[in-house]
Amino acid sequence: MKSAVIPQIRVEPELRAELESVLKQGETLTDFVEATVRSAIAFRRVQTAFHERAQVASEEYHRSGVAAPVEAVLDRLQAKLDAKRKKLGR
């Protein structure tokens, strides 16, 4: 597969200096930009999926008038948080 080039962008010298100041040992500007773009893409996909689920839930609520009680939602979220903390050993 052929590689493609992401368009260059012009930035102020201060931004470039700030960027270079946070590079890890041996990391290039190209490495940083590629990792950042990949991260942004993943975030946007998660964000889009969240909005789609929220839209479906909203439409279902408006159609049926049935909603989960706040306490039940908060309990489920707390359980997920507790499970993740346990898994991470916190």
Instruction: Give the model's pLDDT for residue 90.
Output: 80
Handedness of CA 26, 32, 38, 40 (dihedral sign): positive
Map tokens 């080039």 to a residue. 5
Could you read off the pLDDT of 33-85 as tens digits, one per residue? Answer: 999 999 999 999 999 999 999 999 999 999 999 999 999 999 999 999 999 99
Q: Where in the sequence is the domain holding 79, given as residue range(s)?
A: 13-88
Handedness of CA 15, 23, 39, 47 (dihedral sign): negative
Total domains in the chain come to 1
Tell me the pTM.
0.73
**Cβ–Cβ under 8 Å, residues 5 and 33:** no
